[in-house]
Amino acid sequence: MSRAHTRTAPTIQLPTILAWGAFALVMLVTLFPVYWVLRTALSDHKEIYVQTFVLWPVGFTLDNFKRVLGMFTAEQSVAMGGTATGINFWLYLRNSIIVSTFLVAGQTFFSAMSAYAFARLRFPGRDQLFFLYLTAMMIPGVVTLIPNFILIRDLKWLDTFQGIMAPGFLMTPFTVFFLRQFFLGINHELEEAATLDGASIPMIFWRVALPLSIPALSTLAILQFIATWNDYLWPFLVGKNEAVRVLTVALAIFQSQTPQGAPDWGGLMAGTALSLVPTLVIFLIFGRRAVNAIQFTGFR
């Protein structure tokens, strides 16, 4: 096959076998650590320390999962190498779901409203304000972290769901920017037809623009859900209490508890495995759309 007719980007010449080998290696290195989580989580907590080189779970057991889901008493937990304090991943899972779902719902809706105004409506100061939003996108989180923490503390919103969700609930610069670019690109005709029919602006937004933008909205929602689900420092600072603790914070706190000197690796990996499930589920349901959404972040 003549190289001049390959329809792919040219690479530095490599024997194909070598290239395939490298590709397989990349896949292996990517997937193995995730597999290892499962292997450890399904292994007997004592065998983990002994049989360290075996690829399959050693002493197959579901006890680690049961332990972190709070299905054993404190004494039983300690006997299995776990901590005596209650660990309940159902609770943390619930908290993560609550925070991410409401936060993303609010963010998406309010950002869509503003994005529509920036893209479609005329009002004084529109472009200057949007420019301000853009500059906010450049500000690294570290600058607003401490003042926002103080604000939440002063509002007595520490250890509450609203405290965790507050900063991003009404907008983030990225979400407004993303949706505004989208609204700029859609077809005017449907909106103009609605205007001629006498529809008011809110009606046009609600009945025409919003339905048209469902692909963009869901793309954004997926991205933001992942981002909020993975957030650590902020929920850690404002949401330590068990009632609102999210998965990332729970895992960190779990890890810092070292019963009898060594971390409860079996339990830790079980907790990790559990925290992977929702992300994987979303990924499997939304599949191609999720991958394309993530790819799209490179085109800001």
Partner 1 sequence: MTTHRQPRLAARREALYAWAFVAPSLIGFLVFFAVPSVRGLLMSFTNWDLLRPAKFVGVANYVRLFGDADFRHALKVTAYYVLMNIPIQTTLALGIALMMDKFSKSTIIRGILVLPWLLPNIVVALIWLWLLDPTMGFLNQIIMALGFQRQPFLGSIDQAMPTIAAINIWRHAGYTAILLYAGLQTIPKEIYEAASIDGANERQMFFGITIPLLRPVLVFVLVTTIIGSFQIFDTIAITTKGGPVDATRVVYWYIYEYAFVRFKMGYATTISVALFVILITITFIQMRYFNANSSDLD
Q: Which stretch binds partner 1 (CB under 8 A): 44-52, 70-78, 86-94, 210-218?
A: 44-52
Segment 211-230, which members bind partner 1 (CB under 8 A)? 226, 229-230
Among 251, 217, 247, 242, CA closest to 230: 247
Residue identified by tokens 């509002």 is 155
Contact (Cβ atoms closer than 8 angstroms) between residue 289 and residue 89: no
Q: Which stretch binds partner 1 (CB under 8 A): 23-31, 64-72, 76-84, 185-193?
A: 23-31
Distance CA 236, CA 239 (A): 5
Extract the tokens encoding 60. Answer: 């197959």
Q: Which stretch binds partner 1 (CB under 8 A): 63-71, 97-105, 183-191, 201-209?
A: 201-209
CB of 130 to partner 1, least distance (A): 9
Interaction pattern, residues 55-74, with partner 1; x per rule: CB under 8 A: --------------------
Q: Is 139 in the site for partner 1 (CB under 8 A)?
A: yes
Provide the Cα torsion 144, 148, 150, 153; round to 10°. -160
Neighbours of 227 (CB within 10 A): 15
Interaction pattern, residues 84-123, with partner 1; x per rule: CB under 8 A: --------------------------xx-xx-xxx--xxx
Sign of the torsion angle spanned by Cα atoms 270, 274, 279, 281: positive
Segment 143-182, which members bind partner 1 (CB under 8 A)? 143-151, 166-171, 173, 176
Output the CA angle 187-221-228, nearest 5 degrees.
150
Distance CA 229, CA 252 (A): 14
Q: Is 188 in the site for partner 1 (CB under 8 A)?
A: no
Q: Which stretch binds partner 1 (CB under 8 A): 62-70, 80-88, 156-164, 196-204?
A: 196-204
Q: Is 232 in the site for partner 1 (CB under 8 A)?
A: yes
